[in-house]
Amino acid sequence: MNVKILLEYDGTNYSGWQRQKNAIAIQEVVEKAIFKVTGEKVNVIGAGRTDAGVHARGQVANFFTNCRIPVARLPYAINSHLPEDIVVKGAEVVPDDFHARYSAKAKVYTYSIYNAPFPSPLLRRYSYFFPKPLNIEAMERAAKAFIGVHDFAAFRASGSSVKSSVRNIKRLEVKKQGDLVIIEVEADGFLYNMVRIIAGTLLEVGAGKRDPEEIPSVIRSRDRERAGVTLPAHGLCLEKVIY
Amino acid sequence: MNVKILLEYDGTNYSGWQRQKNAIAIQEVVEKAIFKVTGEKVNVIGAGRTDAGVHARGQVANFFTNCRIPVARLPYAINSHLPEDIVVKGAEVVPDDFHARYSAKAKVYTYSIYNAPFPSPLLRRYSYFFPKPLNIEAMERAAKAFIGVHDFAAFRASGSSVKSSVRNIKRLEVKKQGDLVIIEVEADGFLYNMVRIIAGTLLEVGAGKRDPEEIPSVIRSRDRERAGVTLPAHGLCLEKVIY
């Protein structure tokens, strides 16, 4: 049977979701835990290939198993073999053609900026510290320009090789929660580093280094050099995968 | 001059605020950082002697110095010698008779319970995981019984030797924020482990193991055995000291 699982993890100590040489990946840790439960060497397919240091509150994955443990008990069984920074929060049997990545209709990511004069020890692992004041209203205006179907070639890591860089951003919101500025973005798919570059571009707008009105021309340029910096991984979190 | 500083820290890796044998204390780390800035061996007096693993968003401390660095620059200077889990967020010159502990009129602590079917990797360091459903309304009713001037001998670690166990709880609120249940308490002072025992007692009420109506008689008993368990340190945070 094909099992879909929901995962939360703190990416701080991992090389990212995907198996790597010389570094421990979340996928690998989850596969080993499943092996301990089922005795099967499964391939766990993740919806989002989160990078090193990126977190997830709602990663989705699937794997095939002949295990007879009731699916409702599986999260408890797998969690008993997982470290405390990775947790399976749910499991259900899905049709065989369900593929965590290819079946996904959309994904939601957040990028958290801690915007206060001094860094926060309690939020340091899950947000990027930026001490200068941010103009949220300007960031909101800039965010609107990203929404819709565009070629986001300017907002992907240079050197990435995916054929099409056209994506549909369905929602891009900038929210202030206390000292946190949270950028929340929903799209049908994301290019490599896309959220971190959009967040870096919006941060530059918020800091007054860039005009919100210039975003449409940056998108049209398809030129990575015209967009903002790639913000660090630890502010990024995969919130939800929509099927 | 007498300098008052405001601190935030992640207590996970420390033996608590106060200097200890065989374990590193936050006070000690801060004193060493101040030494590197001023060349002076100062005694940093903290308002709350937070225990091992307890966090602070608003600890206050004071120390005497002859240092000529402008006080507004001091946090930056001290922070450059602090690890990232301890941050000075402010500094000001105060009258010589200001004492971070004795001058405090009240302190505010929160105790955070993560109440969901599975633990949260992202909140695990700052909240206590409790998977069974909680009756928040019953917890709120129980909380009201603590408010006011009472002898809280039933709510202090057995063996503590402070003379009077009478304290004034000015505020005790139970708030639900998503999957977090946050107990916020303001009092003129706290007995040893008092917040963690109150939180444990309220948790037992929420879980249906204890009637909210019995709180007044538990308080009157002055008997530690009648109160609830002491919840672990990592859910506790010193939020604010009021002068």
Residues A20-39: pLDDT tens digits?
Answer: 777 799 999 999 999 999 99
Six token digits for residue A107: 């994904």
Say what the pTM is.
0.94
Single out the residue of A167, A151, A234 nearest to residue A199, CA to CA: A234
Name chain B contacts of A57, Cβ cutoff 8 Å: 122
Length of chain A: 243
**Who has greater pLDDT, A7 or B158?**
A7
The rounded distance, in Å, linking the Cα atoms of A74 and B78 is 49
Catalytic residue list contains B51: yes
Would the CB atoms of B10 and A124 count as touching at under 8 Å?
yes
In this prediction, residue A22 carries a pLDDT of 75
Size of interface A-B (CB pairs under 8 A): 62
Helix (H, G, I), strand (E, B) or coil at B203: helix
pLDDT band at residue B16 using 50, 70 and 90 as cut-offs: very high
Q: In this complex, which of B8, B10, B121 lies closest to A8 when CB atoms are compared?
A: B121
CATH fold for domain A2-94: Alpha-Beta Plaits (3.30.70)
Question: Where exactly does CATH 3.30.70.580 map onto chain B?
Answer: 2-94
The rounded distance, in Å, linking the Cα atoms of A148 and B13 is 46
In this prediction, residue B57 carries a pLDDT of 98
Q: In what helix (H) or strand (E) does residue A240 lie, and over which residues does it extend?
A: strand A236-242
Question: Where exactly does CATH 3.30.70.660 map onto chain A?
Answer: 106-242
Would the CB atoms of B85 and A55 count as touching at under 8 Å?
no
| Longest CA span, chain B | 58
CATH fold for domain B106-242: Alpha-Beta Plaits (3.30.70)
Minimal-distance CA residue of chain A relative to B57: A122
Helix (H, G, I), strand (E, B) or coil at B195: helix
Name chain A contacts of B86, Cβ cutoff 8 Å: 121
The rounded distance, in Å, linking the Cα atoms of A217 and A214 is 6
Say which DSSP state A146 is in: T
Minimal-distance CA residue of chain B relative to A8: B121
The rounded distance, in Å, linking the Cα atoms of A48 and A36 is 24
Q: How far is B169 from chain A (nearest CA, A)?
A: 26
Residues B189-220: pLDDT tens digits?
Answer: 999 999 999 999 999 999 999 999 999 999 99
Q: How far is A234 from chain B (nearest CA, A)?
A: 12
Alpha carbon of B176 to those of A159, B140, B183: distances in Å? Answer: 46, 11, 9
pLDDT band at residue A237 using 50, 70 and 90 as cut-offs: very high
The percent of residues in chain B predicted with pLDDT above 90, rounded, is 94
The rounded distance, in Å, linking the Cα atoms of B85 and A126 is 13
Place of tokens 């019953």: B138
In this prediction, residue A233 carries a pLDDT of 97
The rounded distance, in Å, linking the Cα atoms of A173 and A188 is 16
Helix (H, G, I), strand (E, B) or coil at A6: strand
With a cut of 90, say whether residue A158 has pLDDT above it.
no
In this prediction, residue B59 carries a pLDDT of 98
Tell me the HSE value of B143 on the side-chain side, using a 13 A CA sphere: 21
Place of tokens 């009713």: B141
The residue among A82, A88, A118 with the most chain B CBs within 10 A of its CB, best to mutate, is A118
List, in sequence order, every beta strand (DSSP E) within chain B: 2-9, 45-46, 55-64, 86-94, 106-114, 128-129, 148-151, 166-177, 180-187, 236-242
With a cut of 80, say whether residue B20 has pLDDT above it.
no
